[in-house]
Amino acid sequence: MRVGMITTFQTPCGVAKYTEELCYELNDLVDLTVFGERIQSNSIEDPPIYPKRKPIFLNRCWSRADKCFGELYSDIINSVSPFDVVHIQFESAMYNEGMYSQSALLTFLNKLKEAEIKTVMTLHNVPQFNAGIPYTNWYKNTGCRFIVTNDLMKKELYKWQPEVQSTTIKLGSTLFEPMEINKAKDLIVIPRNKFVITQTGFYGYDKGMLGLIEAMPRILEKIPEAYLVLAGSIHPLAPPIHRTYLRKCIQTAVHLGLQNYIRFTGKFLNEQDLSLYLSASDIVAVNHQYVFGLFSSSASAHRAIGAGKPMIMNYNDVRLSEFIDGKHCLKAEDKDIPDGVFMLYNMPELREKLYKGASEYAKETSYLEIAKQHLKVYKK
């Protein structure tokens, strides 16, 4: 089977990282070509995640700002052998006006349909039905079979357009062997006696960083060795709201006198760095906040769930709906974060239970298992 994957690729982008992990597994199952976005002026191409695995054929031939996706269409149509399926990784903010009836993206998809090429689209988010923007017919008019990443997304998609075909496939989880915790702490220069609470991922208004920072004074009252690590950076294409939020986070940390108890890494972390920071953690936090009216899933939670660490997650964020409280993680609202941390600190049996549950879920959603599910969709 010949598959073309349209996506951002090997750039500082959550969708790009997810797709690259998926494509390494798909590359062993199908004849795969990745149609990658051209590198933007403020980005650079990241090295391959797995340089020793079978190379992925990459053709950079489109930009989210393209007016007609002409080069991309030509490269697909004029390929030496035809594609059985073209799969596009879609995130609404990436394509600006891509969800309007006269958009270049919709025109491109309709041209593929006219050429009798089957199309699949992974929706990395679905706007709330009451978002006030007329997307109702857009989903139907793409002609795509959709992949969504949790069942809440599927329900919201069917509110927009109940006639479309969709399949729920979870985001993939990265499997890795964590480094011994004290060795990892030594490498990132954190004292071994610190009780490290780590949140990974891009800094943003929806990531709940401020809630974690504001929880630290209460946590420190009972756990004086607590240390919060915000392991990530601002996305290079982040809108101003995220930068304003980051400034507020830093200002709050200074106002609360927490300079010696919080680390902002302030840089995009490669796969090795992410694994190192997760290995050095005693607890992994995923305190996402539902503020943008989008139904989606958490790539950073899936990146962390294989770390073999107990996790505390926000109770209310729809991106975390697939993770079961008390089985995969401990869930808490902002005001209850300190109490959740105290429970994990004082109850080793709970930490062990959550570690086992998270590890099992990581294996169930490994990229190899996720790739096999994609193959079933391609064959429909």
User: Is the separation of the CB atoms in 275 and 178 below 8 Å?
Assistant: yes
Name the residue range of residue 94's domain: 2-171+366-379
Regarding predicted confidence, which is higher, 291 or 42? 291
In a domain, 30, yes or no: yes
Task: Please report, for the domain that includes residue 211, its CATH number.
Answer: 3.40.50.2000
Confidence grade of residue 42 (pLDDT, cut at 50, 70, 90): low
Confidence grade of residue 267 (pLDDT, cut at 50, 70, 90): confident
- β 294-295/126-127 pair status: antiparallel
Residues 194 and 332 in one domain: yes
Confidence grade of residue 362 (pLDDT, cut at 50, 70, 90): very high
What is the structure's pLDDT at 13? 85
Please list, in sequence order, all residues whose beta carbon lies within 8 angstroms of the beta carbon of residue 115, skipping any fewer than 6 positions away.
77
DSSP class of 376? H
- Tens digits of per-residue pLDDT, 7-25? 999 988 889 999 999 999 9
User: Is the separation of the CB atoms in 116 and 77 below 8 Å?
Assistant: no
Residues 236 and 338 in one domain: yes
Residues 27 and 38 in one domain: yes
In a domain, 176, yes or no: no
In this model, does residue 177 exceed pLDDT 80?
A: yes
Residues composing the chain = 380
Confidence grade of residue 41 (pLDDT, cut at 50, 70, 90): low
What backbone torsions phi and psi does residue 196 show, to the nearest 5 degrees?
-95, 125
CB neighbourhood size of 278 (10 A): 27
3-state secondary structure of 120: strand
Residues 277 and 339: their CA atoms lie apart, in Å, by 23
What is the structure's pLDDT at 236? 80
Rg of the chain on CA atoms, in Å: 21
Residues 22 and 147 in one domain: yes
Structure tokens, 367: 């990229």
Average pLDDT over residues 78-89: 96
Residues 231 and 374 in one domain: no
Average pLDDT over residues 291-298: 92
Tokens 């996790």, residue located: 311
- β 2-7/85-90 pair status: parallel
In this model, does residue 332 exceed pLDDT 80?
A: yes
Structure tokens, 98: 């891509």
Domains in the chain, number: 2
Regarding predicted confidence, which is higher, 44 or 220? 220
Q: In the predicted model, what is the mean pLDDT of the chain?
A: 94
Determine which helix (DSSP H) or strand (DSSP E) holds 285, and give its type and residue range.
Answer: strand 283-286
Residues 238 and 372 in one domain: no
What is the structure's pLDDT at 293? 87
Residues 270 and 201 in one domain: yes
In this model, does residue 361 exceed pLDDT 90?
A: yes
3-state secondary structure of 311: strand
Residues 356 and 370 in one domain: no
User: Is the separation of the CB atoms in 62 and 69 below 8 Å?
Assistant: yes
Residues 102 and 196 in one domain: no
